[in-house]
Amino acid sequence: MVMPLRHLVVSLAVALLATSAHAADSVFDSPQAPVPAPSVPVHVWSGPYAGAFVGYNTSNFDQSGGATFDGDGFVGGVYTGYNLQTDRIVYGIEADIGGSGVDGRGFNGAVGAPIDAETNIFGSLRARAGVAVDPFLVFGTAGVAASRNELSLGGASDSQTSIGYTLGAGVEAKISDNVTSRLEYRYSDFGSETYDLGNTSVSSGFDEHSIRAGIALKF
């Protein structure tokens, strides 16, 4: 009876050791859970926004008869718009309005007298499109622009509103979830208008270059 009991004990021990070894192999061979990739912040550019800008403009005024003269000065105003976003593509519409300190002085050959030009109020309505490279948005813009100008000659002056086009590009940066800053370049070209200046009339148009910095609140 002793020998069979010994064989039984040995058999049970071998079986237990084999089961433990198989369980250990199962534990060590089990696949490791994937390590989650670090999250990358994604800024949402869609929605309405409004802000303010300051800038510096240089202008070239064209008179009838081929005479030209330059002007420059600081500008400032407000802008508002609405963005839509599809993946990294951001697009929308924007409007701005502002006041200008741009003025220039030249010579009118028709009457042989100095002529002064001054830009007062301006604005635009534009489309915008860009690519989001968080936390930046690189964009282009184009649309219609208007500017209220005054010409003065020999004590007489007249004001007219010039209509033209504007286009440009810039970069916008997220300061926080609701605040953005921007730096933008714009070129605008305005058609000629006729100014009645006493005993003479002057047809004048102009184009301008503008560098602007702005800050906006996203709603």
Q: Which parts of the chain sit beneath pLDDT 50?
A: 1-3, 5, 8-10, 12-14, 16-17, 20-29, 38-41
DSSP the chain: -HHHHHHHHHHHHHHHHHHHHHHHHHHHHSPPPPPPPPP-------EEEEEEEEEEEEEEEEETTS-EEEEEEEEEEEEEEEEEEETTEEEEEEEEEEEE--EEEEEETTTTEEEEEEEEEEEEEEEEEEEEETTEEEEEEEEEEEEEEEEEETTEEEEEEEEEEEEEEEEEEESSSSEEEEEEEEEEEEEEEEEEETTEEEEEEEEEEEEEEEEEEE-
Q: What is the pLDDT of residue 3?
A: 45
* pLDDT at position 200: 86
